[in-house]
Chains A and B, each alone.
Chain A
């Protein structure tokens, strides 16, 4: 059972959202362990280093509006990582942005599977686990 559960990686600079989202994901029975990164750089470092070992499915919830490296810049760097082809990773943008340009821009990245609005709900997590979001 445990091996079928998906790992969640949360990338957001806002600690409150990280707390809430970690809690929501943790309370869901279908989700596996949760990793939280408060900056895009940390997440990139992890993904670059850990791709050899990890083989389970993974879902990344990515904030757009972050200091230093924002969500879109993260995506540009992420696309060049070797991990992209080795692991099944689905990236979802998770934002409070109402700017339609942000949605349009996310669609331009092939690695992005969808766009979610904050705050994440338990229903969202179930859908993500079922691969339907």
Chain B
């Protein structure tokens, strides 16, 4: 058929209706009314006035009609004249062929419609998503023009529409931003585009008012499938976060100041409390050593001195406890013999009988720990061992064993003294607990020891047989600096 008519001609321009002759018009509706009749069409072409016979077939949706027919051939000569062959004519029913063709066209149109609907649905979904997400989103092209702005970024729909295709600079000027501000924002965009790196900065609005708003903005450069560089601009309202952070910082610095004041208070309090105690100790020393007192007075003054020493020890323990709680751990290389010697130096004074002090140090590696804390632990355990040692100058001993490896510090303090009753052994590390009736202490020493060991990440352990002696074992990780 294509050889007879060009694409843009109308039906009436190309064909003349030969049959049906009466009552039919050259219109879609009219031909549709006559479609149960046989049609004979003739080409309006004086050189080739060929005729075709056939019928019109209507599509299911009545939108389309097709002519199904074949050339009106009267003789073989007319075949030659019309430049067609016998083989050009269908062997089966041309009407059925046509129906198949129409169905195929219809299905293709249906598929296209489904696809178009799906794309539209997805577009709506993403549009709704972008518009309802509580984050400012914009897409900016290489030339710094807005391609997309979501509702959160700009609430006014007119402004939003106006923005598309405008540059950052035009937008910021419209918001009365300073030239300096605009140039800085342009520089951020350029940097993101050039380096391909994310750029993050904050914008403040209505500064120092109740409506102050702080936005955290990030520029994410991305490469589109066609090779164009674009930027996703992202803005998050961080006003509340920044406000609470500032509040936290303020509170923290207040607390630090308070903490420091408390520290100073504790130091000056202990200093003031200790001064008179130390005066009395000094006076008792002079009395005992240089005033030649009678035995009775010597006895009283010694008791006075012991009470004062105990009071001073309690103050020092409270001090150590507070220090352990508040002071940061400070790691240094530890000189173990120095610490043990210092602990031994003061220990003997706590008892009147003689205690045999021995030490066995095996140091295979430098030890790193907190010197002041470690000294407290060693002092405490050695002093305890001496205080509760066997009251017999010939056999009483306190043995200190230390082993330092690259991994850990091990301290064992062993005595052959009064030991700790079985039912008390679980409680010795509790605050203010005193396990011995002979206890002269505050019930803080071992509690502080276990607190310090715990803070240094180690363990403290007790083995004791009543009336035979006690062994305390401390292990602390060796922490290289």
Contacts and interface: CB of A to CB of B under 8 A. Distances in A.
Interface of A: 14, 16-17, 20-21, 23-24, 27, 65, 95-100, 118-122
B274 A120 contact: no
Contacts of B372: 100
Contacts of A120: 282
Contacts of B276: 16
A23 B290 contact: yes
A73 to B, nearest CB: 16
Contacts of A121: 285
B73 to A, nearest CB: 122
Contacts, number: 53
Nearest to A15: B279
Contact of A65 (B271, B289, B290): B271
A10 to B, nearest CB: 13
Interface in B256-307: 267-268, 270-271, 274-276, 278-279, 281-283, 285-286, 289-290
A98 B316 contact: yes
Given A98-B274, A118-B282, A120-B282, 12 more contacts: A16-B282, A20-B285, A24-B282, A65-B268, A96-B275, A98-B267, A98-B270, A98-B271, A98-B319, A118-B275, A119-B279, A122-B289
**Lowest 9 A-B CB distances belong to which pairs?**
A119-B282, A20-B282, A16-B279, A99-B267, A96-B274, A118-B278, A119-B278, A96-B278, A98-B319
Given A98-B316, A98-B319, A100-B372, A20 B279 contact: yes
Main secondary structure of the interface of B (DSSP, over half): helix
A122 B288 CA distance: 12
Contacts of B275: 14, 17, 96, 118
A26 to B, nearest CB: 10
Contacts of A95: 271
A27 B282 contact: no
Contact of B290 (A17, A27, A96, A99): A27
5 contacts: A16-B276, A17-B282, A65-B268, A98-B267, A99-B267
A83 to B, nearest CB: 29
B442 to A, nearest CB: 16
Contacts of B268: 65
Nearest to B320: A98
Contacts of A17: 275, 278-279, 282
